[in-house]
Amino acid sequence: MIRLESVRKVFPGATAPAVTSLSLEIPEGEFVTLVGPSGCGKTTTLKMINRIIEPTSGTIEVGGQDVLSIEPHLLRRSIGYVIQQVGLLPHRTVEQNIATVPRLLGWPRDRIEARVAELVEMVGLEHEMRDRYPAELSGGQQQRVGVARALAADPPVLLMDEPFGAVDPIVREHLQMEFKDLWRRLGKTVVFVTHDIDEAVRMGTRVAILNIGGILEQYDRPEEILANPASEFVARFLGEERGLRRLGLLPVSSATLERGPVVDVSAGPSEARAVMDRHEVDWVGLLDGNRLLGWVPASEIGSTPLRDLEPREFLVRLRPDDSLRRALDAVVTSRTRVGVVVGDEGYLGMLDVETVAEEITE
């Protein structure tokens, strides 16, 4: 979909090239993150795709077409572009901002109106915000408008330059998750620049790690990079806790869950004791059919029927799509030393430290 071949950029007056000779191929529908230290040319590379910066030499093709063969402003109308400071036109309303490219393309008014309404909803804004001016919105809201604006003409490709960098960490995480969901629904090709390795690994289906001067160190799926860094540089750049980062990418559902020490409330106290013995633990989980009620310490099991006991809450109930990293956190911080997994159908099983560790070494 996007092909860079021996792309080179030397800024006038510079001693070394910003991008030496980069060759990269981004298949259609992929979410590629460009990440690397300051001076690695990731932003320069991004901006050469839509010719905000003109390449010194080399070829860049988008959708099979050489970007140098079209007028820059026409090229850019078919590529979505989101930058860190958003760059919303302050003197235009949210609606007018989003409608910018469709207007440039000459869309009829009702089509534009419908599209704006659709996008506003898609990015999670309220309809009444359409008539507000950017100065009246919060940072997170402005970013959403920026994304909506980039998607307005339905471009196949989206270029994003640290789009979530200017908002506070809590809002950023929300935006990241929502955008990833949005991407899954829309299926666009995204090129995403970030300096944050966590963000790169979390968001990308492929990650390109660049070194200073635009040298491509590794380009692969994030799990692969984390498991097998291609060079000393990549390993150092990924930093410590590579294992934990990988866990952050794996869902709980990929692990083998055990049924664990649980017993149905209809059973008798003696069966509960047997279960605890078998698993060598001093507590037991209580189920009602498929519903997980909680857990009870051994000391509270006497002769009273299990149904009449007051079970304690598990502090964390994991869902199948939660990451193993979250699971590990739950395991380590709980009294029971397990993480229980509950899905829509009910109790699915539990995992402990060994289960999680197995996934890392896989």
* Single residue of 113, 117, 133, 271 touching other proteins by CB under 8 A: 133
Tell me which stretch binds other proteins (CB under 8 A): 73-81, 210-218, 302-310, 350-358: 73-81
Residue 136 or 277: the one with the smaller Cβ distance to other proteins is: 136
Q: Is 107 in the site for other proteins (CB under 8 A)?
A: no
Q: Is 333 in the site for other proteins (CB under 8 A)?
A: no
Q: Is 125 in the site for other proteins (CB under 8 A)?
A: no
> Which strands make up the sheet holding 283-288, listed edge to edge?
262-264, 283-288, 291-297
SS3 126: coil
Smallest gap from residue 73 Cβ to other proteins (A): 5
Asked if residues 298 and 306 have their Cβ atoms less than 8 Å apart, the reply is: no
Residue 32 or 152: the one with the smaller Cβ distance to other proteins is: 152
Q: Is 57 in the site for other proteins (CB under 8 A)?
A: no
d(CA 143, CA 87): 9
Asked if residues 310 and 287 have their Cβ atoms less than 8 Å apart, the reply is: no
Residue 103 or 273: the one with the smaller Cβ distance to other proteins is: 103
Helix pair 353-361, 324-333: axis angle to 10 deg: 150
Residue 201 CA to its chain's centroid (Å)? 8
Number of chain positions touching other proteins (CB under 8 A)? 33
- Contacts of residue 30, defined as CB under 8 A and 6 or more positions apart, other chains included, come to 1, 189, 190, 205, 206
* Single residue of 28, 126, 136, 282 touching other proteins by CB under 8 A: 136
Q: What is the dihedral of CA 38, 40, 46, 47, to 10 degrees?
A: 80
Smallest gap from residue 87 Cβ to other proteins (A): 3
Asked if residues 152 and 76 have their Cβ atoms less than 8 Å apart, the reply is: no
Smallest gap from residue 168 Cβ to other proteins (A): 16
- Contact string (CB under 8 A) for other proteins, positions 276-315, x = contact: ----------------------------------------
Smallest gap from residue 190 Cβ to other proteins (A): 15
Tell me which stretch binds other proteins (CB under 8 A): 3-11, 87-95, 189-197, 285-293: 87-95
Residue 81 or 295: the one with the smaller Cβ distance to other proteins is: 81
A 10 A CB-CB count for 313 gives 9
Asked if residues 339 and 320 have their Cβ atoms less than 8 Å apart, the reply is: no
* Single residue of 13, 38, 135, 302 touching other proteins by CB under 8 A: 135
Residue 325 CA to its chain's centroid (Å)? 14
Q: Is 74 in the site for other proteins (CB under 8 A)?
A: yes
Tell me which stretch binds other proteins (CB under 8 A): 110-118, 128-136, 267-275, 334-342: 128-136
Q: Is 92 in the site for other proteins (CB under 8 A)?
A: yes
For residue 60, list its beta bridge partners.
4
Within residues 140-179, the interface with other proteins by CB under 8 A covers 146, 149, 159
Q: Is 77 in the site for other proteins (CB under 8 A)?
A: yes
Cα–Cα nearest to 355, from 344, 345, 341, 343: 341
Q: Is 262 in the site for other proteins (CB under 8 A)?
A: no
For residue 32, list its beta bridge partners.
191, 206
For residue 161, list its beta bridge partners.
83, 193
Q: Is 202 in the site for other proteins (CB under 8 A)?
A: no
* Single residue of 33, 50, 189, 336 touching other proteins by CB under 8 A: 50
d(CA 21, CA 61): 15
Q: Is 86 in the site for other proteins (CB under 8 A)?
A: yes
φ, ψ of residue 258 to 5 degrees: the values are -105, 155
- Greatest pairwise CA separation for the chain in angstroms: 86
* Single residue of 81, 192, 237, 295 touching other proteins by CB under 8 A: 81
Phi-psi region of 289 (alpha: psi -120 to 50; beta: other; left: phi over 0): left
**Interface residues toward other proteins, by CB under 8 A:** 50, 52, 72-78, 81, 83-92, 100-101, 104, 132-138, 146, 149, 159
